Amino acid sequence: MAITLEEANRMVEGAIAKAKELDIKINVAVCDAGGRLVAFNRMDGAIWGGVYGAQGKAVASAAFGRDSGLLQESASSPIVSGILNAEGGHGIASKGAAPVIRNDVVDGAVGVGGGTSQEDEDCAKAGIAKL
């Protein structure tokens, strides 16, 4: 089942709500199973580099169907680096994104950039919890 725009926007809102609770400013990206952007938001005052971080972490999470942080240690392995390079180099194997999995199928991912790695992941998972 593909992520709808309504679902993606709900996940963005959930991630932003968590960021407000943590008193941080984030960028949040929701991508589909193919790593293509469905929804994005940048909170006022969020760092501009987080735009790329949020999207890149979401791409990596969707590509591998797991939290992007779990890819950090193997980022330079031939498999992980090869897949991310073949995809176009947009994926970032760093903590801060989680996959959207429904019925044992990866439907996409939510990636966040702007806080610490743990804050980003917590916001991403809070967004997914809104599904």
Domain harbouring 46, CATH code: 3.30.450.150
The 10s digit of each residue's pLDDT in 25-40 is: 999 999 999 999 999 9
Q: Are 22 and 116 in contact (CB under 8 A)?
A: no
Distance of CA 52 to the CA centre of its chain: 10
Q: Which domain holds residue 86?
A: 16-126
Task: Give the largest Cα separation in the chain, rounded.
Answer: 39
Q: Is residue 10 part of a domain?
A: no
The answer to whether residue 131 is domain-embedded is no
Residue 100 bridge partners (DSSP)? 108
Query: What's the rounded Cα separation, in Å, for the pair 123 and 110?
Result: 9
In a domain, 5, yes or no: no
Q: How far apart are CA 58 and CA 93, in angstroms?
A: 9
Round to the nearest angstrom and report the end-to-end CA distance of the chain: 13
Asked whether residue 88 is assigned to any structural domain, the reply reads yes
Residue 46 falls inside a structural domain: yes
What's the pLDDT score for residue 98?
Answer: 98
**Does the residue 11 lie in any domain?**
no
Residues 56-115 pLDDT 10s = 999 999 999 999 999 988 877 888 888 888 888 889 999 999 999 999 999 999 999 999
Length reported for the chain: 131
Domain total of the chain:
1
Would you say residue 83 lies in a domain?
A: yes
Instruction: With respect to residue 20, please indicate whether it lies within any of the assigned structural domains.
Output: yes
pLDDT band at 123 (very low <50, low <70, confident <90, very high): very high
Residue 105, pLDDT score: 97
